[in-house]
């Protein structure tokens, strides 16, 4: 009797033990990942690089105090140009209310050094639509990136980078692609484009060796031309800044320097056969400065003005035969599909 | 006593099976509406809804995505909001990777251009739930996380 009781007891103990082992196995199999995550995911407020796997991945930061919108205008930091060791920048105070060169009562401040230049793209009779940009590539700095984000453009390829300067455009791998970051030239090599738009110079306003800038710009764009020999090259002017909103950085970002760099860009277009897009036609306040209120930080314009830039590009274009007249290249005549043509076919 | 222990063990097993969750839980959001809600966490800039093909911005595989919406800056700040709905929850890992790459690239560029914006990118929120992946670079990360939690993230 005692023996059978003992046997029963041992059997029951073994059954309980087996059940507990089974529970443990089930927990490890179904909840093991969660347990590992709980152990390895030390804080929920780490940086963006995740360290472990888990069913819910979270990369969040600590809370920040809100910044006033006007304060943003004062937070542009100097850019250190590694190649030249200078501070270059995209926003700066020159002194409130200062207007470079012209009288405030003179509202006909010229926005180009040579208004009669044949390199300046004139307004076309009929604007094109977005399809014109389907084979276009847009290269440039944060202002070009802002145009991409806020203009409403639906076509085109963008190779842009915050802080892009001539040095960056020439040789730094700053253009993201699906295969990683590459240089502008490498990115250009990946496609065939009919139009190349370049918006550059705001981050080079501290470049006092203007001859060197001119030489470097020509050399760089020639290289792009070799990669894209069939493309029409448009060089966008550097548009003005709103000096009263620029409160930090070096003393280089002035509308006087904007005028200087634009005169160089126009010279380049005249000598090399590129087409100059004078964006200050629509963004100038008439006194050699950016329209008041067009920007929160004095440099990057609001959505409304990005849309105006797109409208400007649609009404300022060249057709291939005009492009070849300017550049000396022979191309077949092709007309962009204008909105008027679309109406005719309806 | 032994029977009681066995019953308890069985109950624990059954309960542990019902606790499975995380990315496989049912989450259903309207990407447009969620993005608009997250926009309220950006107070230092006015973001614009992107009209571009977002697969060319974030480099996700468009074949694996149902829909995507993004709001970005005209250049003043590094703030942005993006919501991607993948075709399957298993694709969200790849989208998260794309978002992380995007944030890293922007951080490296802003590091020498605008230190404050580089710091903002350190606090970027990248989260997935169900088929949805969110990227939020904003002013109020607490509020953003609250919004995401309310939406099942």
User: Does the residue B57 lie in any domain?
Assistant: yes
Nearest to A72 among B44, B50, B145 (CB): B44
Please name every residue paired with A199 in a beta bridge, in sequence order, or none if there are none. A140, A236
Which of A248-262, A323-337, B39-53 has the least mean pLDDT? A323-337
CA distance B81 to B41: 10
Residue A94, Cα to own-chain centre: how many angstroms?
25
CA distance B130 to A70: 39
A301 vs A46: which has the higher pLDDT: A301
- Residue A280 contacts B where some CB pair is shorter than 8 Å: no
Nearest to A265 by CA among A190, A189, A166: A166
B133: three-class secondary structure by DSSP: strand
CA atoms within 13 A on the CB side of A338: 14
Is pLDDT of A59 > 50? no
User: Does the residue B1 lie in any domain?
Assistant: no
Residue B25, pLDDT score: 57
Q: Tell me the chain A residues in contact with residue B103 when contact means C-beta distances shorter than 8 Å.
A: 48
User: Does the residue B120 lie in any domain?
Assistant: yes
What confidence tier does A1 reach under pLDDT thresholds 50, 70, 90? low
Mean pLDDT (chain B) is 90
Mean pLDDT (chain A) is 77
Quick one: average pLDDT of A61-90? 37
Is pLDDT of A203 > 70? yes
Quick one: average pLDDT of B17-43? 80
Instruction: Please answer whether residues A191 and A157 qualify as being in contact, where contact means their C-beta atoms are separated by less than 8 angstroms.
Output: yes
What confidence tier does A50 reach under pLDDT thresholds 50, 70, 90? very low
Is pLDDT of A92 > 70? no
**Alpha carbon separation from A179 to A48, A286, B96, B131 (Å, rounded):** 21, 45, 16, 24
Nearest to B16 among A30, A62, A71 (CB): A30
Per residue in A302-319, pLDDT tens?
Answer: 999 999 999 999 999 998
The complex scores an ipTM of 0.83
CB contact under 8 A, A153 and B139: no
Nearest to A302 among B21, B74, B139 (CB): B74
Residue A330, pLDDT score: 37
A124 vs A23: which has the higher pLDDT: A124
User: Does the residue B14 lie in any domain?
Assistant: no
What confidence tier does A18 reach under pLDDT thresholds 50, 70, 90? confident
Q: Tell me the chain A residues in contact with residue B124 when contact means C-beta distances shorter than 8 Å.
A: 48, 59, 61
Instruction: Please answer whether residues A171 and A183 qualify as being in contact, where contact means their C-beta atoms are separated by less than 8 angstroms.
Output: yes
Chain A to chain B Cβ contacts (< 8 Å): 180
CA distance B15 to A316: 69
Residue A32, pLDDT score: 65
Domain residue extents for chain A: 1-62, 79-330
Nearest to B139 among A47, A67, A146 (CB): A67
Q: Which domain, by its residues, includes B56?
A: 23-150
Tokens matching residue B1 = 């006593």
- Residue A20 contacts B where some CB pair is shorter than 8 Å: yes
Give the distance from residue B33's alpha carbon to the nearest chain A alpha carbon, in angstroms.
20
Angle, to 10 degrees, between the axis of helix B115-122 and the axis of helix B92-111? 160
A107 φ, ψ (degrees, to nearest 5): -90, 15
Would the pTM of this model clear 0.80, i.e. be above it?
no
Nearest to B48 among A60, A90, A150 (CB): A150
Residue A6, pLDDT score: 63
CATH annotation of A79-330: 3.40.50.1110
Task: Quote the percentage of chain B above a pLDDT of 90.
Answer: 76
Instruction: Please answer whether residues A253 and A79 qualify as being in contact, where contact means their C-beta atoms are separated by less than 8 angstroms.
Output: no
A12 vs A53: which has the higher pLDDT: A12
User: Does the residue B54 lie in any domain?
Assistant: yes
Quick one: average pLDDT of B129-150? 97
Residue B15, pLDDT score: 62
Nearest to B114 among A16, A75, A178 (CB): A75
Please name every residue paired with A236 in a beta bridge, in sequence order, or none if there are none. A199, A277
CA distance B75 to B17: 49
Residue A56, pLDDT score: 37
Instruction: Please answer whether residues B129 and B70 qualify as being in contact, where contact means their C-beta atoms are separated by less than 8 angstroms.
Output: no
How far apart, in Å, do the first and last CA atoms of chain A sit?
104
- Residue A21 contacts B where some CB pair is shorter than 8 Å: no
Tokens matching residue A107 = 């509202």
CB contact under 8 A, B77 and A23: no
CA distance B77 to B101: 18
Task: Quote the percentage of chain A above a pLDDT of 90.
Answer: 53
**Count of residues in chain A:** 346
Per residue in A221-253, pLDDT tens?
Answer: 999 999 999 999 999 999 999 998 886 666 788
Instruction: Please tell me which residue of chain B has the smallest CA distance to A180.
Output: B101
Task: Quote the percentage of chain A above a pLDDT of 70.
Answer: 65
Give the distance from residue B130's alpha carbon to the nearest chain A alpha carbon, in angstroms.
10
Per residue in A110-131, pLDDT tens?
Answer: 888 888 899 999 999 999 999 9
Residue B116, pLDDT score: 86
How far apart, in Å, do the first and last CA atoms of chain B sit?
43
- Residue A297 contacts B where some CB pair is shorter than 8 Å: yes
Is pLDDT of B133 > 70? yes
Candidates B39, B75, B126, partner chain A, best to mutate (most A CBs within 10 A)? B75
CB contact under 8 A, A299 and B106: no
Residue A66, pLDDT score: 35
Nearest to A30 among B20, B125, B153 (CB): B20
Residue A102, pLDDT score: 44
Is pLDDT of A342 > 70? no
CB contact under 8 A, A142 and B128: no
CA distance A149 to A143: 10
Per residue in B68-112, pLDDT tens?
Answer: 999 999 999 999 999 999 999 999 999 999 999 999 999 999 988
CB contact under 8 A, A66 and B2: no
What confidence tier does B131 reach under pLDDT thresholds 50, 70, 90? very high
- How many separate domains does chain B show? 1
User: Does the residue B40 lie in any domain?
Assistant: yes
Residue B85, pLDDT score: 97
CB contact under 8 A, A299 and B109: no
Per residue in A134-177, pLDDT tens?
Answer: 999 999 999 999 999 999 999 999 999 999 999 999 999 999 99
CB contact under 8 A, A48 and B122: yes
Instruction: Please answer whether residues A207 and A90 qualify as being in contact, where contact means their C-beta atoms are separated by less than 8 angstroms.
Output: no
User: Does the residue B10 lie in any domain?
Assistant: no
Instruction: Please tell me which residue of chain B has the smallest CA distance to A182.
Output: B105
């Amino acid at each position: 009797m005692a023996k059978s009781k003992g046997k029963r007891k041992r059997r029951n103990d073994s059954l309980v033990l087996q059940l507990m082992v089974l529970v443990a196995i089930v927990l490890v199999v179904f909840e093991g990942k969660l347990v590992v995550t709980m152990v390895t995911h030390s804080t929920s407020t780490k940086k963006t690089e995740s360290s472990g796997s888990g069913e819910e991945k979270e990369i969040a930061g600590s809370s920040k105090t809100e910044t006033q919108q006007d304060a943003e205008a004062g937070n542009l930091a100097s850019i250190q140009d590694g190649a030249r060791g200078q501070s270059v920048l995209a926003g700066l105070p020159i002194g409130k209310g200062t207007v470079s060169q012209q009288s405030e009562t003179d509202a006909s401040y010229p926005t180009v050094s040579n208004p009669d230049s044949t390199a300046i793209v004139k307004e076309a009779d009929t604007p094109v639509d977005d399809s014109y940009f389907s084979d276009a590539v847009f290269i440039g700095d944060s202002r070009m990136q802002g145009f991409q984000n806020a203009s409403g453009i639906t076509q085109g390829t963008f190779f842009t980078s915050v802080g892009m300067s001539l040095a960056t455009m020439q040789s730094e791998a700053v253009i993201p692609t699906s295969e990683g970051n590459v240089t502008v030239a490498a990115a250009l090599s990946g496609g065939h484009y009919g139009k190349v738009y370049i918006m550059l110079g705001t981050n080079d306003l501290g470049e006092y060796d203007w001859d060197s800038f001119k030489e470097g710009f020509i050399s760089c764009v020639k290289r792009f031309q070799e990669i894209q020999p069939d493309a029409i090259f448009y060089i966008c002017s550097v548009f003005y800044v709103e000096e009263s909103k620029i409160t930090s950085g070096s003393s280089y970002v002035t509308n006087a320097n904007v005028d200087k760099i634009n005169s160089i860009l126009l010279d380049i277009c005249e000598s090399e056969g590129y087409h100059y897009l004078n964006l200050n036609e629509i963004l100038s306040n008439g006194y050699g400065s950016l329209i008041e209120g067009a920007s929160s930080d004095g440099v990057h314009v609001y959505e409304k003005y990005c849309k105006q830039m797109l409208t400007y590009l649609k009404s300022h274009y060249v057709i291939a035969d005009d492009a070849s007249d300017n550049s000396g290249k022979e191309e077949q005549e092709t007309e962009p599909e204008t909105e008027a043509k679309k109406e005719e076919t309806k | 006593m032994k029977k009681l222990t066995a019953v308890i063990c069985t109950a624990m097993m059954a309960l542990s099976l019902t606790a499975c969750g995380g990315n496989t839980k049912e989450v259903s959001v309207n990407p447009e509406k969620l993005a608009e809600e997250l926009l309220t966490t950006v107070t230092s800039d006015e973001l614009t809804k992107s009209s571009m093909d977002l697969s060319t911005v974030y480099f996700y595989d468009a074949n694996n995505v149902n829909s995507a919406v993004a709001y970005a800056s005209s250049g003043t700040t590094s703030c942005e909001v993006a919501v991607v709905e993948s075709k399957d929850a298993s694709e969200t890992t790849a989208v998260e990777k794309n978002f992380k790459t995007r944030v890293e690239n922007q951080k490296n560029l802003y590091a020498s251009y605008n230190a404050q914006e580089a710091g903002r990118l350190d606090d970027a929120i990248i989260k997935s739930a169900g088929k949805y992946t969110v990227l939020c670079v904003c002013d109020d990360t607490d509020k953003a996380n609250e919004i995401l939690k309310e939406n099942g993230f």
